[in-house]
Structure 1
Amino acid sequence: MPARPSVHLAIPVDDLAAARQFYGEVLGLEQGRSTDHWIDWNLHGHQLVTHVVRGGATAVGTSEVDGHNVPIPHFGLLLAPRQFHVLAERLRTAGTQFVIEPYLRFPDQPAEQWTMFFLDPAGNALEFKAFSDETQVFAR
């Protein structure tokens, strides 16, 4: 039987200890294999690999969405609303500075969703969101 589809994402970091603390302690991801220059993380069933690269992430720009400047590139997950709010509180408790604070985007529209953006210690932009109705993720 084929494995279920999942994503593999490799990102640059400039400090593996800071990545270990952020992804392991702040985000609460399970650590997988590692060496002295990369760590595998279980990102809710997807493989995220933090690789040491001199200089870390490089920001490209922003795109305006719903009156906010969204950092580009970025990655993240779709969570259930309860998971989203638990993570938001976990990030606040850890002192995370948000690029875009958690808020409800597109209220009373089919794509209504909670969203938040923040940076990891290397400057990689992350977005986590939760749709009010998950059947509307790809609604037009």
Structure 2
Amino acid sequence: MQIRSFQLSDYSSVTRLLKEVLTETCYTETMAAFAKQLSWDSELVLVAQENNTIVGILIGTIDNNHGYYYRIAVLPPFQRRGIGRSLIRALKERFDRHKVRRVLVTLDSHNEPLIPLYESMGYRGNDFTRSIEKLSIANG
């Protein structure tokens, strides 16, 4: 498996993946945020690729010197194989290179079930934020 930055040629595969994994409402919200993040910094959108197939994505952003994990999705047949963890670790490394002061997990009703994943990686209560506007304001 390879973790890398999103490329424009991944767009169709990523949109299919998100449509398969997310609810309709979550998909709509995520696509809007995805487009905004791509216009700011596509390096913070990571994909997991296995055998030339995009099997996972993690959308992150930086705002006011804070890094945010926004949305993570992995195709069902590939879940519980460490792909989400690999995506999170890779994005954390990018946040470190950008010298962000703090890394936060953006929570909403769609990704609350992933809290145990983040907790297993060392994130705790004050590392979670309910602010969902991070990808709808100017990136700073």
Q: Which structure is higher in strand share?
A: 1
TM-score by length of 1: 0.30
Larger radius of gyration: 1
TM-score by length of 2: 0.30
